[in-house]
Chain A
């Protein structure tokens, strides 16, 4: 899976959760600075589970994975290709 595709889908979902235009979401910003709270973040994790068939919520997620949207997309793309 292509990282750009993952980024586009994540931006779409975060845009929905925060009611922002996906285009306005920065790929370099950490998730917690975007305004996501626990509930919205869990919603995002469940979306990733369903969309990319990855159980991120129960796997070990490191702080580096959330440094930016780009990092998360790379992690997803990496895990999905395994």
Chain B
């Protein structure tokens, strides 16, 4: 049975619904919303007021930003939004920013990003925001875009930024809402097939649950637990060397298994506690279901599936051997069609109310969904190199990792550089431990 969509509703897919459950759980455990930020660093400063004005105008083209979750008579959840536009700036769109001291270095910049994410993750109602910071002498500036994860995934955010900056540059007009309008039907057909896919995915996941998952508990400290962000950057020369090492150790185009093996190895001292003797790492990694050519048409909502890797914690000591194990697991999951099975099976999960789905997930995973999250984003879809005559010098993703595990590493590239961002909730690991993890990651990934 196919339920037709309308301009006022967008049916949510399984990933959208599961992400909402994770957002609910994260809010419950930490008091914070599931959001992420992307920073665009510039080598000069465009006019702040004009940039902010353009951002509001740009966002107002997309009524989808002003919506809310609803459920259809057929039980499929959907995003309900009105296509009418009001004269005022809606609360879903926010702009802000300020002036930075001229001496503000990269450490201070990171502190600013952390503060902004911590501030915004407590504010209800917004869907997209832009904070613009410039130095007093206008020698540099950075634009921090913040996104609500229920409406954007990382690639969608890249496309959104690309479209906005295109509009700012005036080179190519941004696509209108009619062209970017998210379309999806209720997907209520093929229940037997979806049930079988769900069963297959469950079997794969239950195999992972056989072992004790190494897990760092989140100390409770509501109403709000701060998010900590740490970042390191590899130069283009170092990034090239890393690619060569990845090829030598894990094989052709096997950067992701190589980087994950290195991350597991870097995290090892943090997890290596007497009470976790003999435990396994379980690592979840999201995979982008979108493909390059369609991204500009799929700006909104989540188009993701997941892969899971499981290995004894001790294996992390032998990074090169672990990279081979992870490569095999990656190939096996592709053979088993796990991402596609999860995607199909998750469509059935949409009948659960979110609270029930969250409780179900916690029971299924015994509160230990994974040891840490890992994502390798690759080169962004954002290809703009100049904004109002200012050169784009950097582009970095800063995620909030849902709980559990509330700890994760994301890798993103820009202009040949490689960024590694460690994000966690305060108390999962200490700042010193986080810095040591990144220092080990740097050392190991280059060798």
A residues sitting closer than 8 Å to B (CB atoms) are: 17-20, 31-32, 35-39, 41-43, 45-46, 49, 57-58, 61, 63, 65-66
Residues of B within 8 A of A36 (CB): 253
Q: Quick check: A19 and B292 within 8 Å, CB to CB?
A: yes
**B252 within 8 A of partner (CB):** yes
Task: Tell me, in angstroms, the Cα distance from A6 to B425 when the chains sit together.
Answer: 50
Q: Quick check: A39 and B252 within 8 Å, CB to CB?
A: no
Which residue of chain B lies nearest to A46 when distances are taken between CB atoms in the complex?
B334
- From the candidates B253, B256, B291, name the one contacting A19 in the complex (CB within 8 A): B291
Residues of A within 8 A of B253 (CB): 31-32, 36-38, 41, 66
Residues of A within 8 A of B293 (CB): 18-20
**Closest 6 A-B residue pairs measured CB to CB?**
A38-B256, A19-B293, A19-B291, A41-B253, A57-B331, A42-B334
Q: From residue A37, how far is it (CB to closest CB) to chain B in Å?
A: 5
Q: Quick check: A46 and B291 within 8 Å, CB to CB?
A: no
User: Given contacts A18-B293, A20-B293, A63-B247, could you give 5 more A-B pairs where the C-beta distance is less than 8 Å?
Assistant: A17-B291, A39-B334, A46-B331, A58-B331, A61-B252
Task: Tell me, in angstroms, the Cα distance from A46 to B328 when the chains sit together.
Answer: 12
Interface residue ranges of B172-186 to A (CB < 8 Å): none
Q: From residue A16, how far is it (CB to closest CB) to chain B in Å?
A: 9
Task: Tell me, in angstroms, the Cα distance from A49 to B331 when the chains sit together.
Answer: 11
Which residue of chain A lies nearest to B252 when distances are taken between CB atoms in the complex?
A66
Residues of B within 8 A of A19 (CB): 291-294
Name 28 interchain pairs, CB-CB below 8 A, sorted by A.
Answer: A18-B293, A19-B291, A19-B293, A19-B294, A20-B292, A32-B252, A32-B253, A35-B292, A37-B256, A37-B378, A38-B253, A38-B255, A38-B256, A38-B330, A39-B256, A39-B307, A39-B330, A41-B253, A42-B331, A42-B334, A43-B334, A49-B335, A57-B331, A58-B328, A61-B251, A61-B252, A63-B247, A66-B252
Chain A interface mostly helix, strand, loop or mixed? helix
**B446 within 8 A of partner (CB):** no
Interface size in chain B (residues, C-beta < 8 A): 21
Q: From residue B334, how far is it (CB to closest CB) to chain A in Å?
A: 5
Residues of A within 8 A of B334 (CB): 39, 42-43, 45-46
Residues of B within 8 A of A39 (CB): 256, 287, 307, 330, 334
Which residue of chain A lies nearest to B330 when distances are taken between CB atoms in the complex?
A42
Residues of B within 8 A of A49 (CB): 335
Q: A31-B253, A66-B252 are in contact. Are A38 and B376 (CB under 8 A)?
A: yes
Task: Tell me, in angstroms, the Cα distance from A42 to B252 when the chains sit together.
Answer: 10
Q: Report which residue of A38, A39, A43, A57 has the largest number of chain B beta carbons within 10 angstroms of its beta carbon.
A: A38
**B218 within 8 A of partner (CB):** no
Q: From residue A1, how far is it (CB to closest CB) to chain B in Å?
A: 22
Task: Tell me, in angstroms, the Cα distance from A39 to B334 when the chains sit together.
Answer: 8
Which residue of chain B lies nearest to A39 when distances are taken between CB atoms in the complex?
B287
Residues of B within 8 A of A35 (CB): 292
Residues of B within 8 A of A32 (CB): 252-253
Interface residue ranges of B59-81 to A (CB < 8 Å): none
Q: Report which residue of A19, A39, A49, A65 has the largest number of chain B beta carbons within 10 angstroms of its beta carbon.
A: A39
Q: From residue B286, how far is it (CB to closest CB) to chain A in Å?
A: 10
**B198 within 8 A of partner (CB):** no
Residues of B within 8 A of A46 (CB): 331, 334-335
Q: From residue B438, how far is it (CB to closest CB) to chain A in Å?
A: 22
